Amino acid sequence: MNISRAGSGLGPLQDGSRVVILGGGPGGVASAIALKREAQSAGRDVEVIIVEGKQFVGEQHYNQCVGVLSPPVDVLLEKELRIPFPYHLQRGIVTGYVLHAGRRQIILDGTSEPSVSLRRVQFDAYMLDAAHEGGVTLWHARATDIEFHADKVVVYTENFPLEADVVVGAFGLDEGSAAIFSRAVGYRPPPMLSSIVTKYHPGEAGMTKFGSRIHAFLPSSPRIEFGGVTPKGNHLTINIAGDSVDTALMNDFLAFPETRRVLPDFENASRINSNDLRYFKGWFPRGLARHFVGDRFVMVGDAAGLVRAFKGKGVTSAIQTGIRAAQVILRDGISKSAFQSRYYSANTDILSDLPYGQAMRHFTILAPRLGMMDLILQAAEHNLDLYRALFNAVSAHRSYREVLQEGLSWASIRAVGGAWLHRTL
């Protein structure tokens, strides 16, 4: 393959152009497939290269993602990328949630399309295969540095350097890649929440007993913002998140009576599989990155912080923003101004919801400590608006703006007031 090439201007990508995508997670791969498809339908031959350091095939690398994929991920794959949704990889259908907060819990079942749980490494391998079949080149190496010039970008990798007209930054929250872009273009990664993830195999009877709902926890512990236990076929994935969670906090979470109650047979250590209770560290973005677009570069998914703030739908948002970046590159151009006007406006749904997500985060940190969640859960048992707001917040099926509108209706506020009066009288 010819790895160096002559540069072009900053307009929409023309025949013979090249895009290098840094990162082969859902954001990078969606962008690659969309670029190939859209270029083909415009009659342009555009070369697309994904640089990915991990080996997904054979599950040699772990991905900390819990792997619950929320709508409209299937529509994005099938309608926009025209690849079948990998139902064969599914480990379960999420039929609902049990929210534990304060001393109460509530079952939240919705009527909308359910989420699907699968193993993220298998999903990433499937997506990369689809990209390869669609004519995308996979470059197995880590990118180590980047140079921006007026007419081209040079991406240095662990093997050959690559030249491109434009680079898509789809490197998630990788610190090394963030440092490279920070040096080259002043990029600042998004603010983050840390997370610890682990697994537990309670056996077949234990899985049946656990059921198909995800258990979500809003503990009153000041350092754990939320926790979750998710059924994944033959095991349960357990995760916690907060500003700086660590193994000691995961031990605390596993010792909480409300967590113990939902983990079948957890007391019986002899049942614990040798792979169980190994702890993995991960990060969630909880706000926007800075300087994530510029001449000849655009970032997607976690790297841009373009996700539903606070919780949920990271994979769906990465795919959405990957497709949107591809459309801007081919339709509007690769200049900073093209990205600032067209990419930002294409992502208005995510951008306009960020302040509501952040407000929700602060509320869910404070409310359990003030004893308010007990009242809210109690009121939601009789108030449909509040029930729906809780379901949509936990499932990530609606925007936070819609969740807050539902949750702050007069009927909801009256119901919480009623629960408070009932308790104090």
The reply to whether 229 sits near ligand FAD by the rule CB under 6 A is: no
- Based on the shown chain and the rule CB under 6 A, indicate whether residue 287 belongs to the binding site for ligand FAD: no
Q: Under the criterion CB under 6 A, does residue 102 sit at the interface with ligand FAD? A: no
Residue 36 or 232: the one with the smaller Cβ distance to ligand FAD is 232
Q: How far is 139 from 400, CA to CA, in rounded Å?
A: 38
Instruction: Determine the Cα angle at 186 with ends 180 and 187, to 5°.
Output: 70
Nearest to 381 by CA among 104, 96, 97: 104
Of 134 and 172, nearer to ligand FAD (C-beta) is: 172
Among 242, 264, 282, 407, binds ligand FAD (CB under 6 A): 282
Q: Which whole-number Å values give the CA distances from 18 to 51, 328, 392, in the listed order?
A: 13, 15, 41
Q: Say if residues 190 and 286 touch (Cβ distance below 8 Å).
A: yes
* Residues ≥6 apart with Cβ < 8 Å to 352: 401
Shortest reach from residue 19's CB to ligand FAD, in Å: 15
Q: Which of 114, 134, 172, 264: binder of ligand FAD (CB under 6 A)?
A: 172
Counting residues that bind ligand FAD (by CB under 6 A) gives 40
Binding-site member from 38, 80, 174, 385 for ligand FAD (CB under 6 A) = 174
- Residue 28 engages ligand FAD in binding (rule: CB under 6 A): yes
Q: Using the rule CB under 6 A, is 372 a contact of ligand FAD?
A: no
Q: Which is nearer to ligand FAD, 318 or 393 (CB)?
A: 318
CA-based max dimension of the chain: 79
In the complex, the smallest distance separating the C-beta of residue 61 from ligand FAD, rounded to whole angstroms, is: 7
* Residue 26 is a binding residue for ligand FAD (CB under 6 A): yes
342 neighbors 330 (Cβ within 8 angstroms): no
Q: Is 197 in the site for ligand FAD (CB under 6 A)?
A: yes
The three-state secondary structure class of 421 is helix
User: Who contacts 247 (Cβ-Cβ below 8 Å, separation ≥6)?
Assistant: 196, 279
Segment 290 to 319, residues that bind ligand FAD, using CB under 6 A? 301-303, 307, 313-316, 318
Contacts of 86 (CB under 8 A, 6+ apart): 118, 122, 123, 126
Tell whether residue 283 is a contact of ligand FAD (CB under 6 A).
Answer: yes
Beta-carbon count within 10 A of 168 CB: 29
SS3 per-residue string spanning 177-206: HHHHHHHHHCCECCCEEEEEEEEECCHHHH
Give the DSSP letter of residue 335: S
54 binds ligand FAD (CB under 6 A): yes
Binding of ligand FAD by 189 (CB under 6 A):
no
68 binds ligand FAD (CB under 6 A): yes
Residue 54 or 374 with smaller CB distance to ligand FAD: 54
Would you count residue 81 as binding ligand FAD (CB under 6 A)? Answer: no
Binding residue for ligand FAD, selected from 25, 86, 110, 357, defined by CB under 6 A: 25
Query: Six-digit token pair at 424?
Result: 């104090």
Q: Is 213 in the site for ligand FAD (CB under 6 A)?
A: no
Binding residues for ligand FAD (CB under 6 A): 22-28, 51-54, 64-69, 142-143, 170-172, 174, 176-177, 195, 197, 239, 282-284, 301-303, 307, 313-316, 318
